[in-house]
Protein backbone atom coordinates (compact mmCIF):
# COMPACT_ATOMS: atom_id res chain seq x y z
CA UNK A 1 0.00 0.00 0.00
CA UNK A 2 1.14 3.53 -0.69
CA UNK A 3 2.23 5.85 2.04
CA UNK A 4 -0.77 8.18 1.99
CA UNK A 5 -4.16 6.52 2.25
CA UNK A 6 -7.32 8.57 1.83
CA UNK A 7 -10.79 7.49 2.85
CA UNK A 8 -13.62 9.43 1.30
CA UNK A 9 -17.34 9.12 0.76
CA UNK A 10 -20.73 10.60 1.42
CA UNK A 11 -21.45 12.17 4.79
CA UNK A 12 -22.34 9.75 7.55
CA UNK A 13 -21.19 6.53 5.89
CA UNK A 14 -18.57 5.90 8.55
CA UNK A 15 -15.36 7.29 7.07
CA UNK A 16 -13.99 8.15 10.49
CA UNK A 17 -14.64 4.67 11.84
CA UNK A 18 -13.09 2.99 8.83
CA UNK A 19 -10.04 5.23 8.69
CA UNK A 20 -9.46 4.95 12.44
CA UNK A 21 -9.77 1.19 12.21
CA UNK A 22 -7.35 1.03 9.29
CA UNK A 23 -4.86 3.28 11.08
CA UNK A 24 -5.19 1.02 14.12
CA UNK A 25 -4.50 -1.98 11.96
CA UNK A 26 -1.40 -0.37 10.47
CA UNK A 27 -0.07 0.65 13.87
CA UNK A 28 -0.63 -2.86 15.19
CA UNK A 29 1.34 -4.23 12.27
CA UNK A 30 4.27 -2.19 13.50
CA UNK A 31 4.07 0.81 11.19
CA UNK A 32 4.48 4.33 12.55
CA UNK A 33 1.05 5.65 11.65
CA UNK A 34 -0.60 9.04 11.69
CA UNK A 35 -4.32 9.48 11.30
CA UNK A 36 -5.40 12.92 10.10
CA UNK A 37 -8.94 14.16 10.28
CA UNK A 38 -9.85 16.91 7.81
CA UNK A 39 -13.53 16.96 8.50
CA UNK A 40 -14.58 20.24 10.11
CA UNK A 41 -16.90 18.20 12.33
CA UNK A 42 -14.08 16.22 13.89
CA UNK A 43 -14.97 12.86 15.29
CA UNK A 44 -11.59 11.16 15.60
CA UNK A 45 -11.61 12.45 19.17
CA UNK A 46 -14.84 10.53 19.80
CA UNK A 47 -13.53 7.28 18.37
CA UNK A 48 -10.43 7.28 20.55
CA UNK A 49 -12.08 9.05 23.49
CA UNK A 50 -9.31 11.59 23.55
CA UNK A 51 -9.01 15.22 22.50
CA UNK A 52 -6.74 15.94 19.52
CA UNK A 53 -5.66 19.19 17.93
CA UNK A 54 -3.64 20.64 15.10
CA UNK A 55 -0.39 18.87 16.05
CA UNK A 56 0.08 15.08 16.06
CA UNK A 57 -0.47 13.53 19.48
CA UNK A 58 0.07 9.88 20.45
CA UNK A 59 -3.14 7.90 20.88
CA UNK A 60 -3.43 6.42 24.38
CA UNK A 61 -3.26 2.66 24.48
CA UNK A 62 -2.17 2.16 20.87
CA UNK A 63 1.56 2.19 20.36
CA UNK A 64 2.87 3.69 17.14
CA UNK A 65 -0.34 5.60 16.40
CA UNK A 66 -0.60 9.40 16.36
CA UNK A 67 -3.64 11.46 15.52
CA UNK A 68 -4.32 15.05 14.56
CA UNK A 69 -7.29 17.18 13.51
CA UNK A 70 -6.72 19.90 10.96
CA UNK A 71 -8.19 23.27 11.76
CA UNK A 72 -8.46 25.48 8.66
CA UNK A 73 -9.86 28.34 10.73
CA UNK A 74 -6.60 28.57 12.65
CA UNK A 75 -4.58 28.30 9.45
CA UNK A 76 -6.53 31.16 7.87
CA UNK A 77 -5.79 33.49 10.78
CA UNK A 78 -2.15 32.39 10.85
CA UNK A 79 -1.86 33.22 7.15
CA UNK A 80 -3.55 36.57 7.70
CA UNK A 81 -1.18 37.43 10.56
CA UNK A 82 1.84 36.53 8.45
CA UNK A 83 0.79 38.85 5.64
CA UNK A 84 -0.02 41.68 8.00
CA UNK A 85 3.38 41.36 9.59
CA UNK A 86 5.21 41.72 6.30
CA UNK A 87 2.76 44.45 5.33
CA UNK A 88 3.85 46.61 8.24
CA UNK A 89 7.53 46.22 7.39
CA UNK A 90 7.20 46.65 3.64
CA UNK A 91 4.45 49.11 2.97
CA UNK A 92 4.36 52.84 3.71
CA UNK A 93 1.81 53.89 6.35
CA UNK A 94 -0.20 55.78 3.76
CA UNK A 95 -0.88 52.62 1.75
CA UNK A 96 -1.27 50.18 4.64
CA UNK A 97 -4.98 50.75 5.10
CA UNK A 98 -5.71 50.49 1.41
CA UNK A 99 -3.86 47.21 1.06
CA UNK A 100 -5.05 45.94 4.41
CA UNK A 101 -8.63 46.11 3.21
CA UNK A 102 -7.70 44.01 0.20
CA UNK A 103 -5.98 41.41 2.38
CA UNK A 104 -8.94 41.17 4.76
CA UNK A 105 -11.24 40.68 1.82
CA UNK A 106 -9.13 37.88 0.41
CA UNK A 107 -9.42 36.00 3.69
CA UNK A 108 -13.17 36.17 3.73
CA UNK A 109 -13.76 34.77 0.27
CA UNK A 110 -15.34 31.30 0.18
CA UNK A 111 -12.15 29.79 -1.25
CA UNK A 112 -10.02 30.83 1.72
CA UNK A 113 -11.18 27.95 3.88
CA UNK A 114 -10.37 25.39 1.22
CA UNK A 115 -7.05 26.97 0.39
CA UNK A 116 -6.06 26.86 4.05
CA UNK A 117 -7.11 23.24 4.36
CA UNK A 118 -5.17 22.42 1.24
CA UNK A 119 -2.06 24.12 2.64
CA UNK A 120 -2.30 22.02 5.78
CA UNK A 121 -2.77 18.87 3.68
CA UNK A 122 0.47 19.61 1.84
CA UNK A 123 2.29 20.48 5.08
CA UNK A 124 1.27 17.20 6.66
CA UNK A 125 2.31 15.18 3.61
CA UNK A 126 5.60 17.02 3.24
CA UNK A 127 6.58 16.76 6.90
CA UNK A 128 5.63 13.11 7.30
CA UNK A 129 9.11 11.60 7.14
CA UNK A 130 8.83 10.05 10.58
CA UNK A 131 5.70 8.10 9.61
CA UNK A 132 5.42 4.97 7.50
CA UNK A 133 1.76 5.54 6.83
CA UNK A 134 -0.50 8.57 6.91
CA UNK A 135 -4.24 7.92 6.89
CA UNK A 136 -6.53 10.80 5.90
CA UNK A 137 -10.08 10.84 7.09
CA UNK A 138 -11.52 13.33 4.64
CA UNK A 139 -14.57 15.52 4.77
CA UNK A 140 -17.63 14.46 2.75
CA UNK A 141 -17.18 13.86 -0.95
CA UNK A 142 -17.83 17.21 -2.62
CA UNK A 143 -15.38 19.24 -0.57
CA UNK A 144 -12.59 16.71 -0.65
CA UNK A 145 -12.81 16.04 -4.34
CA UNK A 146 -12.54 19.71 -5.09
CA UNK A 147 -9.62 19.92 -2.73
CA UNK A 148 -7.76 17.09 -4.38
CA UNK A 149 -8.29 18.45 -7.88
CA UNK A 150 -6.85 21.79 -6.77
CA UNK A 151 -3.10 21.24 -7.33
CA UNK A 152 -3.23 21.04 -11.09
CA UNK A 153 -5.57 23.98 -11.35
CA UNK A 154 -3.51 26.10 -8.97
CA UNK A 155 -0.23 25.12 -10.53
CA UNK A 156 -1.47 26.32 -13.92
CA UNK A 157 -2.71 29.49 -12.34
CA UNK A 158 0.58 30.28 -10.61
CA UNK A 159 2.41 29.48 -13.83
CA UNK A 160 0.32 31.96 -15.81
CA UNK A 161 0.72 34.71 -13.24
CA UNK A 162 4.44 34.08 -13.16
CA UNK A 163 4.68 34.36 -16.94
CA UNK A 164 2.81 37.69 -16.89
CA UNK A 165 4.97 39.11 -14.15
CA UNK A 166 8.18 38.02 -15.85
CA UNK A 167 7.02 39.56 -19.11
CA UNK A 168 6.23 42.94 -17.59
CA UNK A 169 9.50 43.01 -15.65
CA UNK A 170 11.41 42.11 -18.81
CA UNK A 171 9.76 45.00 -20.66
CA UNK A 172 10.54 47.41 -17.85
CA UNK A 173 14.18 46.31 -18.05
CA UNK A 174 14.20 46.86 -21.81
CA UNK A 175 12.61 50.27 -21.43
CA UNK A 176 15.66 51.40 -19.47
CA UNK A 177 17.47 52.67 -22.55
CA UNK A 178 20.69 54.61 -22.17
CA UNK A 179 21.63 53.89 -18.58
CA UNK A 180 18.25 54.71 -17.05
CA UNK A 181 17.25 52.91 -13.88
CA UNK A 182 14.64 50.25 -14.76
CA UNK A 183 11.42 50.56 -12.79
CA UNK A 184 11.44 46.85 -11.86
CA UNK A 185 14.22 44.37 -12.12
CA UNK A 186 14.09 40.60 -12.40
CA UNK A 187 16.91 40.00 -9.95
CA UNK A 188 15.49 39.54 -6.46
CA UNK A 189 11.92 40.39 -7.39
CA UNK A 190 9.96 39.23 -4.33
CA UNK A 191 6.78 38.70 -6.35
CA UNK A 192 8.46 36.28 -8.74
CA UNK A 193 10.12 34.49 -5.82
CA UNK A 194 6.81 34.12 -3.99
CA UNK A 195 4.96 32.88 -7.05
CA UNK A 196 7.70 30.38 -7.83
CA UNK A 197 7.56 29.02 -4.31
CA UNK A 198 3.80 28.61 -4.57
CA UNK A 199 4.03 26.91 -7.93
CA UNK A 200 6.61 24.42 -6.65
CA UNK A 201 4.42 23.69 -3.67
CA UNK A 202 1.40 22.96 -5.86
CA UNK A 203 3.53 20.80 -8.12
CA UNK A 204 4.76 18.81 -5.13
CA UNK A 205 1.22 18.32 -3.88
CA UNK A 206 0.10 17.08 -7.28
CA UNK A 207 3.01 14.67 -7.48
CA UNK A 208 2.46 13.27 -3.98
CA UNK A 209 -1.26 12.79 -4.61
CA UNK A 210 -0.75 11.06 -7.94
CA UNK A 211 2.26 8.94 -7.12
CA UNK A 212 2.18 8.19 -3.43
CA UNK A 213 -1.47 8.28 -2.45
CA UNK A 214 -4.18 5.61 -2.61
CA UNK A 215 -7.88 6.31 -2.30
CA UNK A 216 -10.71 4.25 -0.86
CA UNK A 217 -14.36 5.11 -0.93
CA UNK A 218 -16.58 4.16 1.94
CA UNK A 219 -20.08 3.30 0.83
CA UNK A 220 -23.30 2.23 2.56
CA UNK A 221 -25.64 -0.26 0.91
CA UNK A 222 -28.21 2.34 -0.09
CA UNK A 223 -29.11 4.01 -3.34
CA UNK A 224 -27.90 7.53 -2.52
CA UNK A 225 -24.56 6.44 -1.24
CA UNK A 226 -23.97 4.23 -4.27
CA UNK A 227 -24.80 7.03 -6.67
CA UNK A 228 -22.54 9.46 -4.93
CA UNK A 229 -19.75 6.90 -4.95
CA UNK A 230 -20.14 6.45 -8.67
CA UNK A 231 -19.75 10.19 -9.20
CA UNK A 232 -16.82 10.32 -6.80
CA UNK A 233 -14.97 7.56 -8.63
CA UNK A 234 -15.59 9.43 -11.86
CA UNK A 235 -14.01 12.63 -10.63
CA UNK A 236 -11.11 10.90 -8.91
CA UNK A 237 -10.38 9.00 -12.10
CA UNK A 238 -10.59 12.24 -14.05
CA UNK A 239 -7.98 13.74 -11.76
CA UNK A 240 -5.86 10.60 -12.42
CA UNK A 241 -5.88 9.67 -8.77
CA UNK A 242 -5.52 6.05 -7.79
CA UNK A 243 -8.79 4.61 -6.47
CA UNK A 244 -7.98 1.22 -4.98
CA UNK A 245 -11.31 -0.02 -3.80
CA UNK A 246 -14.66 0.26 -2.08
CA UNK A 247 -15.40 -0.37 1.55
CA UNK A 248 -18.98 -1.30 2.25
CA UNK A 249 -20.00 -0.24 5.72
CA UNK A 250 -23.13 -0.64 7.85
CA UNK A 251 -24.37 -3.92 6.41
CA UNK A 252 -27.35 -5.46 8.21
CA UNK A 253 -26.66 -8.68 10.13
CA UNK A 254 -28.66 -11.73 9.08
CA UNK A 255 -31.02 -13.35 11.65
CA UNK A 256 -30.75 -17.06 12.50
CA UNK A 257 -32.92 -19.40 10.42
CA UNK A 258 -35.18 -20.47 13.28
CA UNK A 259 -36.13 -16.90 14.11
CA UNK A 260 -39.41 -15.76 12.66
CA UNK A 261 -40.53 -12.73 14.62
CA UNK A 262 -41.23 -9.33 13.18
CA UNK A 263 -37.65 -8.20 13.76
CA UNK A 264 -36.23 -11.24 12.04
CA UNK A 265 -38.52 -10.74 9.02
CA UNK A 266 -37.48 -7.12 8.79
CA UNK A 267 -33.82 -8.03 8.92
CA UNK A 268 -34.25 -10.76 6.31
CA UNK A 269 -35.92 -8.29 3.92
CA UNK A 270 -33.29 -5.74 4.55
CA UNK A 271 -30.48 -8.24 3.95
CA UNK A 272 -32.11 -9.23 0.66
CA UNK A 273 -32.15 -5.66 -0.71
CA UNK A 274 -28.62 -5.11 0.50
CA UNK A 275 -27.47 -8.21 -1.35
CA UNK A 276 -28.86 -6.66 -4.52
CA UNK A 277 -26.92 -3.49 -3.90
CA UNK A 278 -23.75 -5.36 -3.07
CA UNK A 279 -24.17 -7.14 -6.38
CA UNK A 280 -24.47 -3.77 -8.11
CA UNK A 281 -21.34 -2.60 -6.36
CA UNK A 282 -19.45 -5.73 -7.36
CA UNK A 283 -20.60 -5.87 -10.96
CA UNK A 284 -21.03 -2.30 -12.09
CA UNK A 285 -17.97 -0.77 -10.51
CA UNK A 286 -14.54 -1.56 -11.83
CA UNK A 287 -13.08 -1.11 -8.34
CA UNK A 288 -12.92 -4.13 -6.01
CA UNK A 289 -14.98 -4.32 -2.82
CA UNK A 290 -12.26 -4.70 -0.21
CA UNK A 291 -14.29 -4.82 2.97
CA UNK A 292 -17.79 -5.62 4.11
CA UNK A 293 -18.44 -4.32 7.57
CA UNK A 294 -21.57 -5.31 9.45
CA UNK A 295 -23.34 -2.71 11.60
CA UNK A 296 -22.28 -2.82 15.22
CA UNK A 297 -24.76 -2.38 18.01
CA UNK A 298 -22.58 -0.02 19.98
CA UNK A 299 -20.48 2.89 18.78
CA UNK A 300 -17.27 1.65 17.23
CA UNK A 301 -14.54 2.48 19.71
CA UNK A 302 -12.12 0.68 22.02
CA UNK A 303 -12.15 -3.08 21.53
CA UNK A 304 -14.68 -2.89 18.73
CA UNK A 305 -12.15 -0.96 16.68
CA UNK A 306 -9.82 -3.96 16.55
CA UNK A 307 -12.82 -6.04 15.49
CA UNK A 308 -13.65 -3.73 12.60
CA UNK A 309 -10.00 -3.40 11.68
CA UNK A 310 -9.85 -7.16 11.17
CA UNK A 311 -12.65 -6.92 8.61
CA UNK A 312 -10.85 -4.42 6.41
CA UNK A 313 -9.02 -6.41 3.83
CA UNK A 314 -6.65 -3.67 2.77
CA UNK A 315 -2.97 -4.36 2.46
CA UNK A 316 -0.90 -2.80 5.23
CA UNK A 317 2.64 -3.43 4.04
CA UNK A 318 4.48 -0.36 2.75
CA UNK A 319 4.97 -0.55 -0.97
CA UNK A 320 8.12 0.95 -2.44
CA UNK A 321 7.74 4.18 -4.37
CA UNK A 322 8.43 3.42 -7.98
Partner 1 sequence: MTLAERIAAFRDLAEEWLRGLYHGMISHPAYEKIENEAEDIEDAFMLACFPDAFGIPSPVSYYTAELLPYLEDEFEAWERRMWDRGSLLERKGQQYHF
Positions that interact with partner 1 (CB under 8 A): 79, 83, 86-87, 89-92, 95, 98-99, 102-103, 105-107, 109-112, 114-116, 154, 157-158, 160-161, 164-165, 167-169, 171-172, 174-178, 180, 183, 190-191, 194-195, 198
Q: Pick the closer one to partner 1 by CB: 192 or 290.
A: 192
Smallest separation (angstroms) from partner 1 to the CB of 190: 4
Shortest Å distance, C-beta 31 to partner 1: 34
Distance from C-alpha of 73 to C-alpha of 114, rounded to nearest angstrom: 10
Strands (E), 16-64: 33-37, 57-58
User: Is the CB of residue 137 less than 8 Å from the CB of residue 92?
Assistant: no
Q: What is the DSSP letter of 312?
A: B
Burial class (CB in 10 A: 0-12, 13-18, 19+), 112: middle
Nearer to partner 1, 29 or 87 (CB): 87
CB 96 to partner 1: min, Å: 9
Q: How far is the CB of 123 from partner 1 (least distance, A)?
A: 15
List b or e across 119-139, with b for residues whose CB sees 16 or more CB atoms inside 10 angstroms.
Answer: bbbbebbeebeebbbbbbbbb
Rank residues 52 and 118 by Cβ distance to partner 1 and give the closer one: 118
Q: Of the two residues 116 and 316, which places its CB atom closer to partner 1 in the complex?
A: 116
Tally the C-alpha atoms within 13 A of residue 6's C-alpha that lie toward its C-beta: 27
Closest separation between CB of residue 188 and partner 1, Å? 11
CB of 220 vs partner 1, minimal distance in Å: 31
Q: Residue 140: left (phi > 0), alpha (psi -120 to 50), or beta?
A: beta
Centroid of chain to Cα 117: 8
Phi, psi of 125 (to 5 degrees): -65, -40
Pick the closer one to partner 1 by CB: 101 or 279: 101
In the bound complex, what is the minimum distance in angstroms from residue 198's beta carbon to partner 1? 6
Closer to partner 1 by Cβ: residue 175 or 306: 175
Task: Specify the residue, 180 or 262, whose C-beta has the smaller distance to partner 1.
Answer: 180
**Rounded (10°) angle between helices 72-90 and 93-106:** 160
Amino acid sequence: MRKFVFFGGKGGVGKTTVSSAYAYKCANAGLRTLVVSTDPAHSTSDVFDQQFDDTPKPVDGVSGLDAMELDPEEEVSRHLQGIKRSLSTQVSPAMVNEIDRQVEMAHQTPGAYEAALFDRFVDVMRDSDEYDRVVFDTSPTGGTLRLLSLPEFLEGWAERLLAKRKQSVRLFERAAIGGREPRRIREGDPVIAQLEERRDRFALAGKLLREEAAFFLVVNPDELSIRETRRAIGSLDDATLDVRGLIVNKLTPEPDDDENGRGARFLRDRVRTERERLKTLREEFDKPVVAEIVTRIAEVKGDLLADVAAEIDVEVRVEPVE
